[in-house]
Amino acid sequence: MPQFSKWRTKNNEAGIEMSEKDGVRALHLGSSMVQSAMRLTAPNELELAYTRCMMGFLLFHPNPIHIVMIGLGGGSLAKFVHKRMPQAKTTVVEINPQVISTARSYFSLPNDNERLQVVMAEGSEYIARNPATADVLMIDGFDDGCQAGTLCSQDFYNRARESLNRNGVLVVNLLSRDKGRDEYMRRIEHSFNGHVAILMTEVRGNQIVFALKHSPGKLAWEELRRRAENLEIEFALPFSKFILGLRKYNPHGGGYLEI
C-alpha cells in the first residue's frame, strides 16, 4: 500500500500542514484542501491541474517580462516560471512569513535572485503601490477555503487593471463552488470592460479567469491554435486543450459564450 503521512511545521500558529502520498508532497493551509503540491522527483513541474491552466495566459501574452503573483503557497507557479521562462522576472507577494519559510524548506523554492523576489506584504496594498508594472498578474489567495476578502473587491480589481502594462493579463483562480463566484465575475467584467474569458479545470473545481487590460482584437482560432502548438512544445503543457475549454464571459446572458 502507498505510504501516507501528514505533519505540521514546527512552531506553527498558522494552520500550515503538509502531507505525502505516492511521491507527492502537498500543502494545506487551514483546511484539508490541497493548496499546493509537488512531485518529489520533479519539483519544478506543475502537479495540480489548476496551476497548469493558470499558465494559459501565455495564449494571450506569450512573452511577458514581469510576472506578479499574489499568494505563494508551495511556490509551484513561481518555480515553473523561474525554470522555464528565463526572460521573465517574477515577484511573489505573500502575507504569511510561515508560508514563505515552508515553501523554501519543504517545496524547493529558490532564494531570491535577480529574476525571483518574494515580498512579504498584503496583496491589495502591494498592487495599490505599484501601478503599471506587471505584464501578468496572477491571483491565488484564499482564506479558509474562500477568496481572501481584500483580493476580490471591486476596488481591488480596478487597481489590478491599473497595475498592468498596456497588454497585461490578470489571471485569477476561483473555486466554482464559492458562493461569491458570480459576484466576483461581475466585478472583474466591470473592471476589465468585458474582456474576460474563463477556463474550467474540471466540472466542479477551479475556474481560471483571464482578464485582458485591452481588447486583443479578433484573435482568430487558427492563430490561437498555432500559438498553442508552439507553446505545447516549449512548455509541455496541454495548450490545445485549454483552447477547447476556453469561454468568453457573458454577464448579460447569465452564462458563457465560446470565443
Active site residues: 140
Helix (H) or strand (E) segment spanning residue 166: strand 164-175
Phi, psi for residue 123 in degrees, rounded to 5: -60, -45
- Per-residue burial over 233-251, b if 16 or more Cβ lie within 10 Å, else e, is eebebbbeebbebbeebee
Question: All 3 cell numbers of residue 79?
Answer: 518555480
DSSP 8-state code for residue 149: G
Measured in whole angstroms, how far is the alpha carbon of residue 172 from the centre of its chain?
6
End-to-end CA distance of the chain: 46
Give all strands (DSSP E) within 9-163, no chain letters: 16-21, 24-29, 34-39, 66-70, 89-94, 116-120, 134-139, 142-143, 146-147
Number of H helices, E strands in the chain: 8, 15
CA–CA distance, 229 with 97 (Å, rounded to integer): 39
Q: At what angle do helices 181-191 and 154-163 cross, to 10 degrees?
A: 40
Q: Concatenated DSSP letters for 10-45?
A: TT--S-EEEEEETTEEEEEESSSSEEEEEETTBTTS
